[in-house]
């Protein structure tokens, strides 16, 4: 194996081939000389570490400083109305830490105190109500793990392979455990009379964009959650502190942050976010609207362009994540030859309802080139399509809901690249 291979990951991250990598990784198979990390007493084995009062709330250790959200500057006009990407390439398991979970704002992340928080329910209800944050805490609570995916995730890849990294192609997603009150409980409190069919709730945020969206009342009464905790702690500012809406399985734009109002209506509002945006233009120029559900999708997070293989042939862990807005992921297949043949990967746990699942293919790499792909299946029998299958139906002008099979070209030196294959 060449030095380039040994240091490729670090070189990639630091933008320099000169990075010191050699000695440590080289010792994998057989050490010629004793490893000083073992034979010499290291500072950390002799001196003292940090006291318990130094970091009241901890951040990841400095050596992980490259595992951060990143944005793509050319995508949007301004970082205040923009999006960044979860470093999914460097994460494992299923839960996304809040601090690196992607953000999407339309008027920036606002600061709203719990004391200043009000939630109004009005419209076609028996009693229009106003709740404080403290009121919400008195309703029976539930905990659920759900994925939240922006409808535009992988949107830049419609026309062809563009961004070289799983973080950028698939990082508009996170998966957290939410604590909150079912929206149903709040609507019940305000009182609904008559038919639910044909009715809608309009939900909006307290920020300047308001980001209003219309949701059919059936969904609102089904599994929508008014959440105030994620992964056990308060929501982060950038995810809607103190209260956001969780709309399981549906596009992230509907997960209203800084939720301030829920209005029951007999028609959709047809707001900006559900007409001019988040609609899918087909080849003939007509556009689909109300495309809320996120279809089954998967991606290999390692190896991937930001996670080259840094060891030689032999044992290799191929891993990635899969999710579906239709319920549970039941199976993920992996191909090493660009889709000619497939083998079924191992799910690390049973797929949760509308939650992300982790898969592994524990394999033996022969050091040859691979065209790595993953293909998810969900409990409805839906099989994740190829990009050409999607294009055959929708053309190339869609932006949202690109759930195509992704291909990474892994070269014999371990470096991976985002490619499109026939």
Partner 1 sequence: MSKFPKAALFVGAGAGIAATAGLAITLADRFVTPMPATAPTIAFQIPGGGAPAAEVIPAATEVAEQAGLAEPADVPQAGAAASAPEAPVMKMAAAQGLTDSRLGLGRPALEAEIAAWDVDILPDGTGLPEGSGDVWTGEEVFAEQCAACHGDFAEGVGNWPTLAGGWDTLDRKDPVKTVGSYWPYLSTVWDYVHRSMPFGAAQTLSDDEVYAITAYILYSNDIVDEDFTLSHENFLEVEMPNAAGFIVDDRAEAEYAQWRAEPCMENCKDSVEITMRATVLDVTPDQAGAAEDPPAVEKATVEETEAVEEAEAVVPAALDAELVAAGERVFRKCKSCHQVGEGAKNRTGPALNGIVGHPAGAIDGFSYSKALKQAGEDGLIWTEEDLKAFLAKPRDYLQGTKMSFSGLRKEADQAAVVEYLKSFAEE
Could you give the angle at the alpha carbon of 309 between the alpha carbons of 304 and 310, nearest 5°?
Answer: 140
Q: Which of residues 99-128 bind partner 1 (CB under 8 A)?
A: 106-107, 120-123, 126-128
Cβ within 8 Å of residue 55, ≥6 positions away: none
Taking CB under 8 A as the rule, does residue 270 contact partner 1? yes
Stretch of residues binding partner 1 (CB under 8 A), selected from 18-26, 290-298, 311-319, 358-366: 290-298
Strands 357-365 and 314-323: antiparallel
209 binds partner 1 (CB under 8 A): yes
Minimum CB–partner distance for residue 394 and partner 1 (Å):
9
DSSP letters along 266-285, please? SS----GGGTTSS-EE-TTS
396 is a site residue for partner 1 (CB under 8 A): yes
The order of strands in the sheet holding 357-365 is 297-302, 314-323, 357-365, 346-347
78 binds partner 1 (CB under 8 A): yes
| Cβ neighbours around 337 below 10 Å, total | 13
Question: How far apart are the C-alpha atoms of 28 and 25, rounded to whole Å?
Answer: 6
Residue 98 has what DSSP assignment? G
Asked if 98 touches partner 1 (CB under 8 A), the answer is: no
Q: Kindly state whether residue 278 participates in binding partner 1, applying the rule CB under 8 A.
A: no
- Hey, which residues between 12 and 41 contact partner 1 (CB under 8 A)? 12-15
Of 35 and 233, nearer to partner 1 (C-beta) is 233
Per-position x/- string for 327-346, each x denoting binding to partner 1 as judged by CB under 8 A, each - no binding: ------x---xxxxxxx---
Stretch that binds partner 1, among 39-47, 272-280, 314-322, 355-363 (CB under 8 A): 272-280
Which residue lies nearer to partner 1 by CB, 27 or 420?
420
Burial of residue 9 (CB within 10 Å: 0-12, 13-18, 19+) is: buried
The minimum distance between CB 105 and partner 1, in angstroms, equals 12
CB of 146 to partner 1, least distance (A): 16
Using the rule CB under 8 A, which residue among 97, 191, 216, 312 binds partner 1? 191
Q: With binding defined as CB under 8 A, does residue 397 bind partner 1?
A: yes
- With vertex at residue 263, the alpha carbon angle to CA 260 and CA 264, rounded to the nearest 5 degrees, is 155
Which residues inside 210-229 make contact with partner 1, applying CB under 8 A? 210, 212, 221-222, 229
Three-state SS at 166: helix
């Amino acid at each position: 194996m060449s030095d380039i291979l040994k240091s490729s990951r670090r070189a990639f991250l630091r933008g320099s081939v000169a990075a010191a990598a050699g000695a440590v990784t080289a010792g994998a198979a057989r050490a010629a000389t004793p490893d000083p990390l073992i034979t010499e007493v290291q500072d950390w084995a002799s001196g003292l570490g940090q006291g318990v009062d130094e970091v009241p709330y901890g951040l990841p250790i400095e050596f992980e400083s490259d595992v951060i959200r990143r944005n793509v500057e050319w995508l949007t006009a301004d970082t205040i109305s923009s999006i960044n990407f979860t470093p999914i390439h460097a994460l494992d398991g299923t839960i996304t830490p809040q601090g690196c979970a992607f953000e999407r704002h339309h008027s920036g992340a606002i600061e709203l105190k719990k004391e200043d928080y009000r939630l109004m329910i009005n419209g076609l209800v028996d009693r229009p109500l106003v709740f404080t944050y403290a009121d919400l805490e008195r309703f029976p609570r539930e905990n659920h793990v759900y994925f939240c995916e922006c409808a535009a995730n992988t949107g830049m890849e419609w026309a062809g392979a563009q961004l070289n990294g799983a973080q950028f192609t698939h990082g508009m997603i996170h998966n957290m455990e939410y604590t909150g009150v079912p929206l149903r409980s709040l609507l019940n409190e305000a009182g609904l009379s008559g038919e639910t069919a044909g009715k809608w709730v309009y939900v909006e945020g307290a920020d300047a964009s308001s980001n209003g969206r219309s949701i059919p009342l059936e969904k609102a009464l089904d599994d929508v959650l008014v959440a105030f905790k994620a992964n056990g702690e308060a929501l982060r500012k950038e995810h809607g502190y103190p209260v956001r809406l969780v709309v399981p399985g549906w596009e992230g734009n509907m997960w209203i942050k800084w939720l301030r109002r829920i209005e029951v209506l007999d028609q959709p509002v047809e707001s900006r976010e559900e007409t001019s945006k988040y609609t899918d233009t087909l080849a003939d120029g007509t556009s689909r609207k109300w495309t809320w559900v996120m279809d089954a999708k998967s991606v290999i997070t390692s190896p991937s362009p930001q996670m080259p293989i840094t060891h030689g042939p032999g044992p290799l862990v191929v891993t990635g994540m899969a999710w579906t807005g239709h319920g549970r992921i039941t199976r993920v297949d992996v191909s090493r030859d660009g889709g000619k043949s497939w083998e079924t990967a191992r799910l690390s746990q049973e797929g949760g309802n509308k939650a992300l699942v982790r898969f592994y293919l524990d394999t033996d790499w022969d050091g040859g080139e691979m065209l790595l792909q993953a293909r998810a299946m969900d409990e409805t029998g839906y099989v994740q399509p190829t990009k050409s299958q999607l294009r055959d139906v929708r053309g190339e002008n869609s932006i949202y809901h690109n759930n195509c099979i992704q291909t990474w070209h892994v070269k014999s030196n371990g470096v991976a690249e985002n490619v499109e294959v026939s």
